[in-house]
Amino acid sequence: MVRLGFDLVWEADDMRMLIRAAPTLSLAGVGAAAIFAVSLAGVKLAYCLLHSCDFATARARPVPKDGFKGKVVWITGASSGIGKELAKQFAAKGARLILSSRRREALLAVRSDIVAASRGTVQDEDIKVVTLDLEHVDSMRDCTRAAIASFGKVNILVNNGGVSQRCLARESMLQLDKRITMTDFTSHIALARALLPHMHDQGAGNAQIINISSLAGKCGIGLRSGYCAAKAAVLGWMDALRAEEAALGTGVKILNVCPGSVSTQISNNALMGDGSKFGVTDPNIATGLPVEYCCERVLAAAYAELEESWIARPQELFPFYLYQYFPFWMRRTMLKNSRATIERTLGKKISMATLVLPTALPITQMSSRPASPNPTTQTPSTRPITPQTAERGGESLRHLSWIRERHIASRGSASTLY
């Protein structure tokens, strides 16, 4: 009995000590968990920088030799750069190809190169050519029908075609922004819309859309205002489409690829404010990632059915990671370095005195339309009020009053509405 009482007293004392120490132990546990999380994040970031891509893309396994066998891949912008290299690597993995761009001769040369390098495994009939101008959106449905007719199906659409920009926003004409938007964004969604019904007919898991966007779509970069806007629009639209396809259960996979600087001719072909070509390889592109490595990771990400992939040099990848987690601080840093970055790209000093502004802004032309003698085509502000328009206006006002009354009835007050 004495021993039992002693044990109970001892256990009670231990319990009181544990209760007193609980806050300290909890803080120590939280601290240890935080240290572990930070260490793990540091290891993952180092792994990403070592492989020049995000963690999921870095871990994606290389595509097997016949990884895309039986698939039909339609690639836009396939005459050069990333599109040309993607065509080579998809063909090497067993896919049949549909190559598209404006330059038919260049596409035929790409097909010949692929067939010659395959040593008999790829034949001319395995690669079809469909000419396509991304600025002519109205022709997308006809081009889509021609692409489907090539092999009877299209499993993977690669929206790669596009054009970049190298000029200050205030030096750019509105037509240039429209051209970049049409080529880099509108054409992408037009092709996706035209091809989606066919992809739905193929069944779940047999269709994929790969969009070659850019890290510039994640963060605005000087000299690329229209380009950044178009690439950001691609990411937003395709993210929304992915959510809708998942909700409908169609099985259409969507991969958004965000490369950094890749060693291609994109800078030479970039447009200046007046629509002419930049004609120079800027330092970032000259020291960019090899296009072969970039495309190898794109294929690995597509094969792993990832949703987004970042592929860039460590000196570009690291700031963009910081931008995701510390946007305010990184924005201030980028603004401080913006002049040096722009001048290094242009190869000259910039100032207000050196700006070359457009001689005729299209927006001025659009706002100075001649007045029409027909009253029905006048602007809304000067259009005469007819009994029909007055009746429609009265209906709108009555509908607004009904909405206001319903709101007041539900909230009990009109002060929160206006």
Burial class from Cβ neighbours inside 10 Å (0-12, 13-18, 19+) for residue 171 reads middle
Q: Provide the token pair at 193.
A: 């819309």
**Rounded CA gap, 396 and 374, in Å?**
26
Which residues are catalytic, by number?
227
- Say if residues 297 and 311 touch (Cβ distance below 8 Å): yes
Q: Provide the token pair at 59.
A: 């871990």
- Say if residues 77 and 162 touch (Cβ distance below 8 Å): yes
- Say if residues 241 and 254 touch (Cβ distance below 8 Å): yes
Residues 6+ apart with CB under 8 A from 306: 56, 57, 60, 255
- Say if residues 262 and 288 touch (Cβ distance below 8 Å): yes
**Rounded CA gap, 27 and 15, in Å?**
19
